[in-house]
Structure 1
Amino acid sequence: MKQRPAFTNTIAAQVDEYSSTFAAQVGPVLAAVFAREQEDLRRAGLPSGIAGVGDRLPDAVLFDTTGHRTRLGDVLGAAAAIIVFYRGSWCPYCSIALQTYQRELRPVVEAFGTRLIAISPQAPEISLRTASDAGLNFALYSDEGNALAGHLGIVTVPSAESMRARAALGIDVAGSNMDRTAAIPFPTVVVVDATGTIRMIDVRVDYTTRTETWEIIDALITL
């Protein structure tokens, strides 16, 4: 049996390191707001109606980083794929995850001959800046109005209190999205086979946690 690659700098370890200085960066009042938001999300748990293993991935209109309109089916073709839904470039936990996937997952994906794409509701020009700033070499797409995320049942809206806290930090969630609303996807990784059938879907209601690289690779191995 092929041994799983060792990934020492996990997303969880990077988040722990970031979190150790987070309160000092934003101050105790705002840190408490985000802590309450995370606790409320964990308490609420997964919403009903989320797509599951064995479901077919719906087709949807997406926009690439130049604003060109395309369809998910044309992007994926007949290849198996990993689709990463992230909240936006304003989310530090999304940045940690995307850069980890760039570093650890992209080379493996190429070896498997699969696709790796990331999708958010933010405007194409912001996705372009995200890819450039983070040094990402996989494709980023915009899901206007969370159309695809909505079909998968993974859309949420931040609380009013957390939105005010983010605004105090200069973060405009709605202003960064194509539809100018604050709706965002739960951080989610979907693995589909060449027929477009979902073989893994990992939805994280607590946005400080993410799917680790080895979990995605294990799903790829089973295809």
Structure 2
Amino acid sequence: MSRLIDEINKYKEAFKQKAPKEIQEMMLEATKKLENSSLSKNALTVGSTAKEIKLPNALGNEVSLFKTLEENDFAVVSFYRGTWCAYCNLELKALQERNEELKALGAKLIAVSPQSPDASLATKEKNELEFEVLSDNSNVIAKQYGLVFSLAEELRPIYLSFGINLPANNKEDSYEIPMPATYVINKNKEIIFSFIDEDYTKRCEPQDIIEVIKKAKNK
């Protein structure tokens, strides 16, 4: 089983080969600015109490984090940007590969993005996901977790040139998106693990999630 970081590095290399250098430089500069803002310092982290998540899934049915925790020992919540994000799709596929292991450990996976239920359904089908994919319209929940920022204006036409129309995907005019983030939350609603990074190309390795849960179960 390949590691997520290996798949990400393969994609990065392919992108470098095909994308114009000036576009790559603009994207890197925007990421550096976001990193310098230290936005992740404002996010919920280990030791914090998780905020309730009540959102529609890909079929429009409401899913509750707290109800999930009543029925499972742990919840793994992955905030992602949308089906248009290649790094997000790689991460979701990697999580799906370990989904049975997580379930065996008493953990339930939940993915959250600002995209519409229709787009969430496309994500679920595209990546053959067997866990809940929720729609956080206007990033209401992601804001409570301290993850939201506005996509740099200079990147908006670049994204459009890639065929990425955020207002259309999210069914609202804002260019706000969440930083990718992964949380492991225990039955007491306590965050026992968090991975948050301003650099959207950096993602949590599923093996790290599994090790955290195993350690928590053995306490």
Same fold (TM over 0.5): yes
Bigger shift: 145-154 or 69-78?
69-78
Equivalent residue for 1:127, pick from 115, 120, 124: 120
Alignment of structure 1 residues 23-62 onto 2, 5 Å: 23-62=16-55
Amino acid at match of 2:28: A
Amino acid at match of 2:86: P
CA distance in 2, matches of 1:60, 1:107: 23
Alignment of structure 1 residues 83-162 onto 2, 5 Å: 83-103=77-97, 105-162=98-155
Bigger shift: 43-52 or 132-141?
43-52
Amino acid at match of 2:79: F
Instruction: Please state how far the C-alpha of 1:70 moved relative to its aligned partner.
Output: 4.1
CA distance in 1, matches of 2:128, 2:67: 25
Q: Is the 8 A contact 1:87 1:187 kept in 2?
A: yes
- Partner residue, 2:175: 182
Amino acid at match of 1:89: T
Q: Is the 8 A contact 1:67 1:125 kept in 2?
A: no
- Partner residue, 1:212: 205
Q: Given the alignment of the two structures, is residue 169 of structure 1 paired with residue 162 of structure 2, yes or no?
A: yes
CA distance in 2, matches of 1:107, 1:32: 40
Instruction: Please state how far the C-alpha of 1:56 moved relative to its aligned partner.
Output: 1.4
- Computed over aligned residues only, the root mean square deviation of the Cα atoms, in angstroms, reads 1.7
Q: Is the 8 A contact 2:3 2:205 kept in 1?
A: yes
Instruction: Please state how far the C-alpha of 1:199 moved relative to its aligned partner.
Output: 0.7
Instruction: Please state how far the C-alpha of 1:183 moved relative to its aligned partner.
Output: 1.0
Amino acid at match of 1:207: Y
Instruction: Please state how far the C-alpha of 1:126 moved relative to its aligned partner.
Output: 0.4
Bigger shift: 42-51 or 134-143?
42-51
Instruction: Please state how far the C-alpha of 1:154 moved relative to its aligned partner.
Output: 1.0
* Counterparts in 2 of 1:215 and 1:43: CA distance versus 1, 3 Å: same
CA distance in 2, matches of 1:60, 1:214: 25
Bigger shift: 45-54 or 181-190?
45-54
Secondary structure of the 1:65 match is: coil
Q: Is the 8 A contact 2:182 2:194 kept in 1?
A: yes
CA distance in 2, matches of 1:178, 1:56: 30
- Partner residue, 1:202: 195
Q: Deviations over 1:100-131 (max 9, x none)?
A: 1111x212111112101111010001010111
Secondary structure of the 2:194 match is: strand
Q: Deviations over 1:26-85 (max 9, x none)?
A: 322322221222222233334443212222111133011122344332344342110011
CA distance in 2, matches of 1:182, 1:28: 24
Secondary structure of the 1:192 match is: strand
Instruction: Please state how far the C-alpha of 1:133 moved relative to its aligned partner.
Output: 1.0
Secondary structure of the 1:222 match is: helix
The runs of at least 4 aligned residues of structure 1 exceeding 4 Å deviation read none
Bigger shift: 89-98 or 40-49?
40-49
Secondary structure of the 1:156 match is: strand
> Identity of aligned pairs, percent?
27
- Partner residue, 1:4: none
What 5-or-longer segments of structure 1 have no aligned partner? Answer: 1-6
